Amino acid sequence: MNLPDALIEAVSQRLERFTADQLSAAADLGAEAQAFVRSGADAMDGGKRLRARFCLTGWQAVREFQGARAAAPTPDVVAAAAALEVFHAAALVHDDVVDNSDTRRGRPAAHRRWESAHRDASWDGDPAGFGRSAAILLGDLLVAWSDDLLEEGLATADAAHAAPARRVYAVMRRDVTVGQFLDVAEEAAYRTAPDSEHVARALRVASLKSARYSVQHPLLLGAALAGADTAQSDALERFGHPIGLAFQLRDDVLGVFGDAAVTGKPSGDDLREGKRTLLIAYAREAMTPGARRVLDELVGDPALDDEQIAALQSTIVDTGALARVEELITEYALEADRALRGAPLGTTAVGALRDLALAATARAA
């Protein structure tokens, strides 16, 4: 079953209180600082609150097994779930700068909005450069906010639970940063990597950049705050990592084949950005060296037109790459489900985890 809307609303309300405090603190810093802080609050609008949902459900899974049925989430786990959403907003802001993306969730990306603000105000200098600089700093501000919000929550937590929760969060931050770098590096490093390693390299990026931080670590964070034992943490980790991989592979499919009206990003955007995903690795495996060279020349060209995008999409389908990725998504989902069987977790929460797994892997945006 899905989390009650009231639980996610509690996270949204915590975010609203936190951002209101930040806006109040910036009240005497001038118009530019106020606008900058307000853009941080705006960066958290929308989204599926996926990481918060996994965090709260991980907490519930442990607490329910401990006998606390229908327990309302405590302030520490609500704050932790909210901190995950702030960190995610930071990652998206930075990701859009790195990828030179124009849109996010159907709206201009943060660096584009600040570029427009610079131009509209007739400020001196290069609007595009200002937009990029502002967005980098905005992402940094959001990372700091996520730490602040987490620590506010941990101050109310059981001390024995706060320490492992803090360790989970620290590992998550390191992993996703390394994963983001590897994602960027792969766009250039693939040229010198042996063809036989491309699949493994794509999966390594998917694991570090998304699987752990989107699902596995939020689950473990919530579980730690509930006082999870080793067996419970192990079961949630064995569930979370494959679901996280399936989530990222679904994201990769949507980045190539998604409907722009639903995803909020142009169809085929990952192809223009040069993302070396598993789709591309599988397609390359099935190609002749000559066809592979043509694919490599096209992927990463920001000027690809709709006809070229359609041709690349057809190539990915015709080589069987799309079918192989869809098959792997199914395999990961089954692997995750097996991890829940007989696990020392609450029955109702296990049902919620299965629903979240389906939502994460069978989605259109």
Mean pLDDT of the chain: 94
Check if the beta carbon of residue 257 is closer than 8 Å to that of residue 237: no
Please give the pLDDT value at position 340: 97
Inter-axis angle of helices 31-42 and 127-154, to 10 degrees? Answer: 70
Please give the pLDDT value at position 71: 64
- 355 — pLDDT class (breaks 50, 70, 90): very high
CA atoms within 13 A on the CB side of 332: 26
Please give the pLDDT value at position 68: 72
Check if the beta carbon of residue 361 is closer than 8 Å to that of residue 275: no
Q: Is the pLDDT of residue 1 over 60?
A: no
Helix (H, G, I), strand (E, B) or coil at 291: helix
Please give the pLDDT value at position 4: 59
Please give the pLDDT value at position 363: 79
Please give the pLDDT value at position 178: 96
Q: Superfamily assignment of 5-361 in CATH?
A: Farnesyl Diphosphate Synthase (1.10.600.10)
- pLDDT of 140-162, one tens digit each? 999 999 999 999 999 999 999 99
- 46 — pLDDT class (breaks 50, 70, 90): confident
Three-state SS across 137-152? Answer: HHHHHHHHHHHHHHHH
- 50 — pLDDT class (breaks 50, 70, 90): very high
> Percent of the chain, pLDDT > 90?
88
- pLDDT of 237-282, one tens digit each? 999 999 999 999 999 999 999 988 887 778 898 999 999 999 999 9
Domain ranges of the chain: 5-361
Other CB atoms closer than 10 Å to residue 45's CB: what's the count? 10
The label of the residue with tokens 């909005």 reads 113
Check if the beta carbon of residue 19 is closer than 8 Å to that of residue 41: yes
| Distance from C-alpha of 223 to C-alpha of 54, rounded to nearest angstrom | 10
Strands 103-104 and 107-108: antiparallel
- 214 — pLDDT class (breaks 50, 70, 90): very high
- pLDDT of 166-213, one tens digit each? 999 999 999 999 999 999 999 999 999 999 999 999 999 999 999 999
Please give the pLDDT value at position 70: 57
Task: Give residue 338's identity as a one-letter amino acid code.
Answer: R
251-255-260 Cα angle (round to 5): 115
Report the pLDDT averaged over residues 342-353. 96
- pLDDT of 76-109, one tens digit each? 999 999 999 999 999 999 999 998 888 888 799 9
Report the pLDDT averaged over residues 17-35. 96
Please give the pLDDT value at position 326: 97
